Amino acid sequence: MFDTIIKNGFVFDGSGNPWTKTDIGIRNGKIVKIGDIKGEPSANFIDAAGLAVAPGFIDSHVHSDLYCTQPDIHQIRVLQGITLEVFGQDGLSVAPVSEETKPLWERQLNGLDGDIGNWTWNSIEEYFAFLKESKMIGNAVYLVPHGAVRTLAMGFDGRPATHEEMEQMRELVEEGMRQGAVGVSTGLVYPPNVFSNKQELIELCKGAAKYDGCFVVHIRNESLYNLEALDEVIDVARQTGVRLHVSHFKVIGQRNREKFPLALEKMEQARAEGIEVTFDQYPYTAASTVFQSILPPWMHEGGTLKMLDRLKDSSVRKRIIKDIETNTDYENWVFNCGWENIVIASVKTKANKILEGKNMVAISELRGQTPYEAAFDILIEEKAAVTMIIHFGKEEDLLLGMCHPLQVVGSDGVFGGKPHPRLYGTFPRILGRYVREKHALTLEQAVHHMTGAPAQIIRLKDRGFIKENYWADIVVFHPETIADRATYEHPLSTPDGIHHVFVNGEWVVKDGHFTGKLPGKMIRYITKQEVDLPDKV
């Protein structure tokens, strides 16, 4: 007897091959039969005639690391067909920590990953155990965050690491890999990662490569020096043998658009050289990150509290303004995009909720301040727990990346306030706007970029494809009606066209509604195998 039979669907298996009209039988969490299933009993039955049946979507870049414990908020992920997410992004995440570094990271990540109170873990393995106890809707894998291991080795110092500190970081990465991480991540525009040099990255990646892990990187510059930043991480991969994956690939600013095809060529050349390079991308021409990223790197030394103290000093403010107006050596959002294109997405205090959804020019007028002074004061008032949306590019460049064979899909979804619509709409937007309406991709290609391709990047053993003996992470959607409804003005709108979603064989979305089931797992990558978390840590 089957637990569920899905009949008559157009099955897109995740490989990019043409669809097949066939049936799928699920038992004990896995796909046990693909083919014509007639007259066999099943507890559940879905007639998928006219519907597409695909592997559950894999979100290659997201910030659900703590929100995954809150199903009422996190359900939007499965409501758009996502069954697995990659945590630990941008070198900024919640483990490993110590009793000394934990308070720093609880404050630092409050605006990005949310506030769930005091963290009860230190190690990655303990964090996994916490998530297992909390229960999740969907599955997840984890990257060792560069920032966390750097602070364990040397605090929040704004300087290059010593050889001994680099070795300690590498050992911490190796320990994280042994505990189940799939690789290491960094965000080279964020503190404290921004203070690192190439040699430090090489040491980190030696630790990941030892266990066949990947290197997932927000490069040091996505605007004026995009090509040089790509050269840096490609050389890290060249010297260590690590698999390189570039996060949320883009080129920021209208003045830098000509660099987009050149950057793609660099990745192709590296691939031809034998370096495994891929990138993820979201289908929008606006980015989103923490608001404090508008500040120059020197402002972040010592962590959030010291940064906020510095902002109270008028002489420091003058120095910041001069840097923002003249310094292009860092990822200068204001210089490249302008205050009018920077929108406040979320704040913590009720007093400032009125600012959510407004750009910094409008906010400065509302507050009777310059954009600079308004920005500095908002950071202080919110204790830096602020996120922003930045409009940076053109759809033509977006399409160039989306259709590239090295691309996979990642939402870079950030929760809270009035978020970027990519949190709610990324995957349906590609299938609706870019497959059905613009014909930029075939449905087979798009599904592959959302499933089989990212599964290969993170070396998932039995997920990402519709195959017998694979886990039954499955999404059933209508190819003619699937569409994103989230906009910048109304970002909390759920998508259309997602009918059913299964995670580990459990029916988590039924007729477009969350069922309340929580079958998700942290998937641990141990000695090149995928295993469940042990019952005890």
pLDDT at 111 over 90: no
* Helix/strand number for the chain, H first, E second: 19, 22
* Structure-token pair, residue 224: 């004026």
Query: Encoding tokens for residue 17?
Result: 């091959």
Same domain, 372 and 425: no
Distance in angstroms (rounded) separating the CA atoms of residues 333 and 324: 8
Residue 233 lies in a domain: no
Q: Which of 391, 423, 441 is the C-terminal boundary of a domain?
A: 391
Summarize pLDDT for 274-322 with one digit per residue, the tens.
Answer: 999 999 999 999 999 999 999 999 999 888 899 999 999 999 999 999 9
Query: Parallel, antiparallel, or unpaired: how do β-strands 286-290 and 57-59 relate?
Result: unpaired
The answer to whether position 373 is within a domain reads yes
Residues 336 and 427 in one domain: no
The DSSP output letter for 186 is E
Residue 138 belongs to a domain: no
In this structure, what CATH number is given to the domain that contains residue 476?
Answer: 2.30.40.10
Q: Return the residue matching tokens 């300087």.
A: 159
User: Tokens 């204790």 correspond to what residue?
Assistant: 383
Based on the fold, state whether residues 303 and 377 are members of the same structural domain.
yes
Which of the four pLDDT bands, split at 50, 70 and 90, describes residue 525? confident
Least Cα distance to 162 among 200, 192, 198, 191 occurs for 200
Quote the CA–CA distance of 176 and 193 in Å, as a whole number.
Answer: 18
Read off the pLDDT of each residue in 61-68 and give the average, rounded to a whole number: 96
Q: Three-class SS of residue 473?
A: coil
Residues facing residue 239 across a β-bridge: none
Residue of 60, 96, 80, 108 whose CA lies nearest to 178? 96
Q: What 8-state DSSP symbol labels residue 25?
A: E
| Tens of pLDDT, residues 405-453 | 999 999 999 998 899 999 999 999 999 999 999 999 999 999 999 999 9
- Confidence tier at 68 by pLDDT (50, 70, 90): very high
Judgement on whether residues 417 and 335 belong to the same structural domain of the protein? no
How far is 143 from 522, CA to CA, in rounded Å? 12
Question: Are 277 and 234 contacting, i.e. CB atoms less than 8 angstroms apart?
Answer: yes
pLDDT for residue 88 is more than 90? yes
The answer to the question of residue 98 being in a domain is no
Q: What residues are paired with 311 via a beta bridge?
A: none
Looking at the domain assignment, is residue 309 inside a domain? yes
pLDDT category, 528, cuts 50, 70, 90?
very low
Q: Where are the beta strands (DSSP E) in 366-480?
A: 387-391, 407-409, 474-477
Query: Is 310 in a helix, a strand, or coil?
Result: helix
Task: Give yes or no: residues 349 and 442 share one domain.
Answer: no
Q: How far is CA 420 from CA 68, 171, 345, 382, 457, in A?
A: 18, 36, 7, 19, 26
Residue 372, CA distances (Å) to 6, 35, 300, 378, 526 in order = 56, 62, 17, 10, 48
Instruction: Using the 3D structure, point to which of 326, 361, 391 is the last residue of a domain.
Output: 391
Is 397 within the bounds of a domain? no
For residue 532, with 0-12 CB atoms within 10 Å meaning exposed, 13-18 middle and 19 or more buried, which class applies?
exposed
Are 421 and 384 members of one domain? no
The amino acid at residue 136 is M
Residue 232 falls inside a structural domain: no
Please give the Cα distance from 49 to 34 (Å, whole number). 16
315 SS3 class: helix
Give domain status of residue 471, yes or no: yes
Per-residue pLDDT, averaged over 102-123, amounts to 90
SS3 (DSSP) at 281:
strand
The span from the first CA to the last CA of the chain, in angstroms, equals: 35
How far apart are alpha carbons 247 and 188 in whole angstroms?
Answer: 11
What pLDDT sits at residue 533?
44
Q: What are phi and psi of 323, to 5 degrees?
A: -65, -45
Query: What is the helix (H) or strand (E) element at residue 368, kind and residue range?
Result: none
Token pair for 520: 């998700």
Please give the residue range of the domain that contains residue 370.
290-391
% pLDDT > 70, the chain = 98
d(C-alpha 130, C-alpha 123), whole Å: 11
On the question of pLDDT at 64 being above 60, the answer is: yes
Q: Are residues 6 and 80 in the same domain?
A: yes
**DSSP bridge pairs for 24:** 6, 34
At 113, the pLDDT band (50, 70, 90 cuts) reads: confident
Give the pLDDT band (50/70/90) at residue 117.
confident
Asked if 447 and 503 sit in the same domain, the reply is yes
Record the tokens describing residue 244, joined without a space.
């390189």
Asked if 247 and 281 count as a contact pair (C-beta separation under 8 A), the reply is no
With beta carbons less than 8 A apart as the criterion, state whether 29 and 469 touch.
no
- Predicted confidence band of residue 526 (pLDDT cuts 50, 70, 90): low
Task: Report pLDDT digits (tens) over 393-410.
Answer: 999 999 999 999 999 999
Residues 446 and 475: beta-carbon distance below 8 Å:
no
Domain count, the chain: 2
Domain co-membership, 339 together with 426? no
